[in-house]
Amino acid sequence: MARTHNKLCCVQVAPTTHLCGPKPRLGHHTTDGRGNPRKSRIETAPDRSPDTDDSSDTDDPGAGKEAAGSSPQSAMEKKVESDARAYIRGLAQLRGRNVDWAEKAVKDAASLSAEEALRENVIDLIADDVPDLMTELDGREVVVQGETRRLETAGLAVTPVSPDWRTELLSVITNPNVAYILMLVGIYGLLFEFYSPGLVGPGVIGGICLLLALYAFHVLPVDYTGLALIALGVALMAAELFLPSFGILGIGGIAAFVIGSIMLMDTDAPGFAIAWPLIGSIAFVAGGLLMIVLTLLARSRRRAVVTGPEEMIDDIGPVLDWSGNEGRVRVHGEVWRARAGEAVAPGNILAPGQEVRVVGIDGLTLEVEPRKNSPEQ
């Protein structure tokens, strides 16, 4: 039972009564719960009766002429359409509905306003609200499992049945956008745990979120190619932090991530696609983090070395003693063995106390040359 605006249209079907479509147009201006417009359809009955024969469908002699100017259909498409027309025609005959319009609704996607549907014997009645509906239904007869039963709805209390907390929780988890976020939180949580073993928190949160996302994807129509592209994109962006690719891995990861997010839901039905703002926001954040990493990497390459043997290059120190081409010097408060570099002419003996500059390192031996403008030079 559905209510839209201030008018309800009642269709008697099988043992139940369905409401569909607002007034003045039946099947138009309804929404899918997210504000997106959709078109409703009228179902004459959801069940089959033993005395219903699908073969009751008779081919329209003019159908071939009408289809001559349209695009050709495959044999499977014709079979599906023929089966649907036979099914809806048999149900319309069983329930005493307008058989021609029911078949036209399948064949030509026809729709009617509320008043037109009532006039064409497609619906039973039009009600303003639920109490009005209960009044209108009182005294009507319906056939349930071959038995005729009389409805006594006057004065009945309408009790809304709300879903329990478990159903509400599962409906939130299986929202495509929520499942998408849970998947990303799970992947990044496990990555942080692997990179920093012992934190525990990211691993626990990531594992729970990833399992919830897998449950949601089991229910949703997921394209596994898109899911694989998302996983590849996250892996490439994580690898950018450890491999010197100068942004190639990161850019490729963002591209794979965005393409996979677009392909993730394998359906065109409204309400199942990942929201574009969500995809764009996550891609923007990932791109921003990549730019920060690349900027810090470029700054670190231009920065002077502050640790390791290379840090001693160009350091200045005095000569302690010198003999021939070798001697000892003091650099960083430590005494090092040293030998003259290529810039020192053969036979040029460095005097004790003369300042020298380190130009190279060979194991534990420094290569030095006289410092320019040294007082002893």
Q: What is the DSSP string of 147-197?
A: EEEE---TTPPP------HHHHHHHHHTSHHHHHHHHHHHHHHHHHHHHST
Burial class (CB in 10 A: 0-12, 13-18, 19+), 260: buried
CA atoms within 13 A on the CB side of 136: 18
CA 376 remoteness from chain centre: 73
192-to-42, 188, 196, 255, 279 alpha-carbon distances in Å: 52, 6, 6, 22, 22
Q: Per-residue pLDDT tens for 351-372? A: 888 888 888 888 888 888 888 7
CA 95 to chain centre: 44
Cα angle: 164, vertex 167, 168; to 5 degrees: 85
Whether the pLDDT of residue 332 is over 70: the answer is yes
Domains, the chain, with CATH or none: 8-150 (no CATH), 165-302 (no CATH), 309-370 (2.40.50.140)
User: What integer pLDDT is reported at residue 204 of this predicted model?
Assistant: 93
Q: What are phi and psi of 334, to 5 degrees?
A: -120, 150
| Between residues 9 and 280, the one the model is more confident about | 280
List, in order, residues 6 or more apart from 174 with CB less than 8 Å away. Answer: 216, 219, 220
Beta bridge partners of 362: 365
- DSSP class of residue 175 equals S
Q: What is the mean pLDDT of the chain?
A: 76
- Tens-place pLDDT, residues 86-140: 888 888 888 788 888 888 888 888 888 888 888 888 888 888 888 888 888 888 8
- Host H or E run for residue 205: helix 201-219
Quick one: pLDDT at residue 247?
78
Q: Which residue has the tokens 């049945």?
A: 161
pLDDT tens digits along 198-228: 888 889 999 999 999 999 988 888 898 998 9
Task: For residue 331, list its beta bridge partners.
Answer: 334
| Strand partners for 368 | 340, 358
